[in-house]
Structure 1
Amino acid sequence: MNSQKRKKKYDIIVVTRESFPIGMAGTNRIISYLKPLYEKNLSVKVYITKPHKEINILSKETKGIFEGIHFEYTNNTTVWPSKGKKLKKLQIVVSSYFNIIKKLYADKPAIIITYTNDFFSISLLLLFRIFLKYRLIIEETEYPKILTKSVTKSKTIQKIHFYIYRKVNGLLVITKELETYYRSIGVKNIFVLPMTVDFSRFQSLEIVNKENFFTYVGGTGGFIRDGVLDIIKAFNKFIETNPNYKLLIVGPIDENIDITKEIYQFVQQNSLSQIVIFTGPKKSIEIPAFLIKARGIVMAPPKNFDSGGFPTKLGEFLASGTPTICTKVSDISEYLNASNSFLVNAGDVEGICNAMNDIVSDPEKSQRVGMEGKVLASIIFNAKTYLPDFIKFINE
């Protein structure tokens, strides 16, 4: 890290609202690049600035160290009071902002990376950069949220957001498409760090015999984006000739949203309740076993990603070595082909079903494709591949 007049306690702090150290794709993304930085003898820490709804609680410790990464919930709780009074919720939000600054004065970071869509906290960090002399990097895995909200009718609000993007020390993005967009609004210092995987999560597992199930990992948050209803419809066709298989949907479930109700209705109408299994939330350390034991992994986004992003979970699917079925949307075809995955057209339920049949009918080919996917992920989706340039970027 660059020398500073004031002694720095931490080289890098990530500010996020993701659950930590146990969570879903966002959590794994943060871990995937902080661990290699820690292994390079850099001190790293994560601030989690908002507790989580009861349905999404995966982490229960409010502070600690996870594989060298220090972490701390700024409100000293992991639970958001969903049924609490508005005043209580307001108190948590306000105290969170106050505690961020208080902790920054104590932790004295050289660099802050934000992984959050909370633009008020980013604005606050930009303001206090004047006094605390850290470098501020924003990570964006999609287009600005401001473009999808009603306040976008205010050109002034948009200009403020774009001004902040230009004033921070750099922008970390996940795709070339996002790099092109953010350069178009005047951001100059941009680094493309593709979707990254923490491969150590898979290395400690022994080779296991495959079991008769396909799986999707992601929970309610990805039900629409990842085409889970299409996956279930395809599986319903698949079991007509393969009745001994199950489909596991792994991740937290919100039963009150429309897509979940629609999926549950389809499952019940087609008598799939004992065959399509909703496991509920699982700890991060449990996910690799689901992926490795599965006969195949499926995600089926029905259209290009409007966000300009990339499916962060796809890298983990490939890293497991299990053959992966995916639709050809956005940048996916730039990385995947028939040698390392089973690609189908978006919205093609019959194609997904056929891919499932291909996987179970030719185990040797499936194993070969799965291993090729793993090799691809170990290079393209490995933070260590980009580490020298990444360290240079955050220090420039």
Structure 2
Amino acid sequence: MEMNKALFLDRDGVINVEKNYVHKIEDFVFIEGIFELVQFFRKKGFKIIVITNQAGIARGIYTEDDFEKLNSWMLSEFEQRDARIDEVYYCPYHPENGIGEYKKDSYDRKPNPGMIFKAKEKYNLDLADSWLIGDKVSDIQAGINAGVGNNILLNTYSATEKDKIKDQKVQIFTNLQEILNYAKNCIKGLREKSKLKIAILTLAGFPEGMAVTNRVFYYAKGLQENGAEVEVIIVKPTEKADNIINRYRKGVYKGVSFRYAVSGPVRSRNFIKRRIDDIFGPVIASFKVVKGNYNVAMYIGNNSFYHPMVFKAVLYPFGIKLFVERTELMFHNKRKTGIFKIFNKILEKVVYKNLDGFFTISDSLLNEYSKLVSRKCRITKVPVVVDAQEIYKPEIKRTRNLVYTGPLIDKKDGIINIIRSFNMIAKNYLDIDLILTGDINATPDKNRILDEIKNSEYQNRIKLLGFISRQEMINLMNTACALLLAKPSGEQADTCFPTKLGEYLSTGNPIVITKTGEIPQYLKDGISAFIAKPDDLESFTTKIKELLDDPLKAEEVGKEGKKVAQMNFNYFEVMGKVLNIVNSII
């Protein structure tokens, strides 16, 4: 596998104006030229890595939470300027002036190369072909110790730094514009790597939507950041004329390009026109993949037989590989009579036997679908994927509210038990509200939900927000005292894995869930989540009370849950493995 290059940046003195232990947003001033510098290196295929000593944490001047809050804001500022930073590593220790656990000599503290080596391992970096910019000798020495090939001193604030490294092979400049000009001259002939072109096909609305939309986004984002060229193609119109959420036929959302294959995102009011879009949408989408010279198409979403069959029929003559993802059981396991029996046979005998690759979200589903695909088809488990950096918002004030986000479907998420649990505890926790999101008009349980709320003594404390935008959802989850999911037992829960779980955990807030499917593989009760028995109202209610009665324990559980998400569901790492699989088949 071809190795990546990186631009390593110190923070204070390179990204922002050096002040005494900057840890507040109002004190953070970007150095002129930093965004243009990052934009240039990104276009040349470099990973952007920040490595920073944070002795202010060790000295007790500010906390790691203070640092994370400022860091989240800083990263969003870069993101908004199309200058995304891939990773920030920081060392909170000091060997002499640290307090308590922060007093130690860490291998991560520059001039030691620990942080650089961590980035090398995660991003498969060729350090000899990478660059480092720092404003102190310790920065430069870290680069030299790690074997970074191009080390640059930004000699703005300390005239003595230059003399300390005069015998080293280090370039010295006085501002970022000089460094940018130098970089352009050095790598002006560098061509960007030939990229694998991947089209993600979906029936879900984009960029706003539910679980499938979010999964499509993380697939696209992760594959793109691992070096592929990616576009999301929505196969047919998704929006009802009287409830339009996605309005644009094409665009770019957080760096991900998308377009609707046919007339646009809004469905026709004419029945015949809708059926025409249903039938010809997949055909048109397939030929857009061909015309776009894509190497690979990935179909993520609906469990139909027609769409993958059309995709394979159109793409196969052009040598375009087709991968399909399934996160739920197929018709075969749900409906076995009538027309569905015919659909199942087509899926089994025609569609699945001719796929190039297959992704699914759990071991149970992997076992089921392994029986259907051909031996030549590479079938792989792809777990929940999430960008914790996007989800975690420490600057948002936490409240005492209980929050659920999702489709409001009882057989999937146990929404009725969530409402009933709240009714059982509301009397003793007067400062807590229950907040529910999701389109009430789209759920088959609409009447049951409304009746539960109407008959509740605490109906004024149960808030139905309806469908909200993704950013609103992220902000809401971050306000939660606890995030709730009461999946009942059953075939769906036992074989699938809740995609929202990755986002719940990434907030750092504690979650209350039920022990279904593969959840116990990742989470432990009282350690990284509060886990109740499925279909047991009393058990679920007890777990909510346990969380509310011990805020300190709840906080620790939330932190541990966030670590689980970072270790297992990191979109970049998961999609890097997916891309390796795709490359092995192409």
**TM-score, L = length of structure 1:** 0.91
Shift of 1:16: 0.5
From 52, 60, 79, the equivalent of 2:247 is 60
User: Matches of 2:481 and 2:225 in 1, distance apart?
Assistant: 34
Q: 1:117-156 alignment to 2 at 5 Å?
A: 117-149=303-335
Partner residue, 1:5: none
For the Cα contact (< 8 Å) 2:226–2:575, is it kept in 1? Answer: no
1:230–1:349 contact (8 Å) kept in structure 2: yes
Provide the C-alpha distance between the structure 1 equivalents of 2:552 and 2:343, rounded to a whole number of angstroms: 56
Q: Taking every aligned residue pair, what percent have the same amino acid on both sides?
A: 25
Q: 1:87 aligns with which of 259, 272, 276?
A: 272
RMSD over equivalenced CA pairs, Å: 2.3
Q: State the one-letter code of the partner of 2:255.
A: G
- Per-residue CA deviation, residues 171-198 of structure 1 (Å, 9 max, x unaligned), is 0111111111112234431111111113
Residue identity in the other structure for 1:97: P
d(CA) in 2 for partners of 1:247, 1:53: 29
Q: Distance in 2 between matches of 1:277 and 1:305?
A: 30
SS of aligned partner of 1:197: coil
Deviation at 1:75, TM superposition (A): 2.0
C-alpha distance in structure 2 between counterparts of 1:34 and 1:86, whole Å: 32
Is 1:199–2:388 an aligned residue pair? yes
Closer, same or farther in 2 for the Cα pair 1:186/1:135, shift >3 Å?
closer
Which residue of the partner structure matches residue 368 of structure 1? 556
How many residues are aligned here? Answer: 386
Instruction: Give 1:180's aligned residue.
Output: 367
Give runs of aligned pairs for residues 300-319 of structure 1, distance below 5 A: 300-306=486-492, 308-319=495-506
Cα deviation code 1:142-188 (max 9, x no counterpart): 12234433556776643321132121101011111111111223443
Q: How does 1:163-312 map to 2 (within 5 A)?
A: 163=349, 164-188=351-375, 189-203=378-392, 205-220=393-408, 222-254=409-441, 258-306=444-492, 308-312=495-499
1:70 and 2:257 aligned: yes
Partner deviation per Cα, 1:233-282 (whole Å, 9 max, x = no partner): 00001101012211000122216x55110111111112333111110111
Evaluate the alpha carbon distance shift between residue 208 and residue 141 of structure 1 in structure 2; reply closer, same or farther with a 3 A threshold: same
State yes or no: 1:24 paired with 2:210.
yes
**Alignment-mate amino acid for residue 200 of structure 1:** Q
CA distance in 2, matches of 1:341, 1:101: 43
Return 5+ residue gaps in structure 2 as ranges. Answer: 3-193
Check 1:22–1:157 CA distance in 2 against 1; reply closer, same or farther (3 A cut). Answer: closer
**Of 374, 384, 390, the match for 2:578:** 390
Which amino acid letter does the alignment assign opposite residue 191 of structure 1? T
Larger mean Cα displacement after TM superposition, 32-41 or 143-152:
143-152
Shift, 1:136, TM fit:
0.5
For the pair 1:33 / 2:222, whether they are aligned, the reply is no
* Contact 1:172-1:192 within 8 A present in 2 as well: yes
The letter of the residue matching 2:405 is: V
Q: Could you tell me whether the CA contact under 8 Å between 1:115 and 1:140 is conserved in 2? A: yes
Tell me the equivalent position of 2:298. Answer: 113
Q: Secondary structure at the match of 2:358?
A: strand
**Whole-angstrom distance in 2 between the partners of 1:322 and 1:315:** 12
Give the stretch that moved more between structures: 97-106 or 70-79: 97-106
Q: Which secondary structure state, in structure 1, belongs to the residue aligned with residue 206 of structure 2? A: coil
- CA 1:152–1:14 in structure 2 vs 1: closer, same or farther (change >3 Å)? farther
SS of aligned partner of 1:130: helix
**Change in 2 beyond 3 A, CA 1:207/1:9:** closer
Q: Deviations over 1:52-91 (max 9, x none)?
A: 243764322110112222111112322224xx33222223
CA distance in 1: counterparts of 2:381 and 2:523, whole angstroms: 19
Rg (Cα) greater in structure: 2
